[in-house]
Structure 1
């Protein structure tokens, strides 16, 4: 009887190896792929949908699909681009249900902010938020398509070829959008000396 790999051992496996283990019904392998790509897939989803609840649900559906379609996983030769393409298709499907509504519980936030021992945390949080706002201002200046390709390359660590396959554009188009994004960032940083 073959023993199941530990979480740490699974974390060092390639995507193809993990897909093979999912095919063999290894839940740990599915969890590893989920942990490896969930955040990137959700961020990628924001280019097709604004409602984060919908994005998270659709991305989760992709992993359910992965588990249920385990017999066909050996046909997938490039797991990472495959996941991005499936998320794209899921998010482009017409929504047949009412979008989920957000509710915020301000009571807990107010209670935490009134505590004197948390003052330093609040200051640090405000500094982090200011830094994030600055980065966001720079990213907002990048044209939408160029920004999507920049994030896929720099944040999701996809190769230009993978990006071109996912988005259905040429590698040259990916290169051109990256050049636009990098030039925009460089100009914003030099102009505003933001960092």
Structure 2
């Protein structure tokens, strides 16, 4: 297929059977038309052309929102994967450029919102874990915090007696390692070791429940 007239880039082709008129919107070039048409027909080379044309620009665009290059690249790849997966729905006479940038923008904004909720979830866990006041919580978050607090107390009871005592002096009474060492007449190193063991056991025992808490908070944020 040979282009007949450069000025009529969007219009006229010369084929073996004669002239071929191709009417396209002004924002769709002939090249883009054939790329999209190729992708629609499962042409991997056409898809690669589209990928090379926009990938770096889209990554830079996403990074303006996220300031995180690896996450930006992952989002852009997700958009391209979606295009390939749904290629049969593509229309060669509709430009993909606006769709690409809008899709990346939406995914970035969703990621930012999701990250805020995740950060909030971990903040709740952190506050409860440290036995700090949680006045900033909503009613639902206070309920989750109360349940988590009970789970932590139950888990502490399963610690070896010496380990549990040291951990409670740190968590419940807010004593520093040096103060605990002086109070129990042991070395600071022993306190550090026992606290480390306590945290390791608690994390292992509470692992599944912490996941449930995070999921519950994420779910409530979407309602």
Normalising to structure 2: TM-score of the pair?
0.36
Greater fraction strand? 2
Q: Which entry has the higher C-alpha Rg, 1 or 2?
A: 2
Higher RCO (CA-CA < 8 Å; seq separation 6+): 1
- Normalized against structure 1, the TM-score is what? 0.41
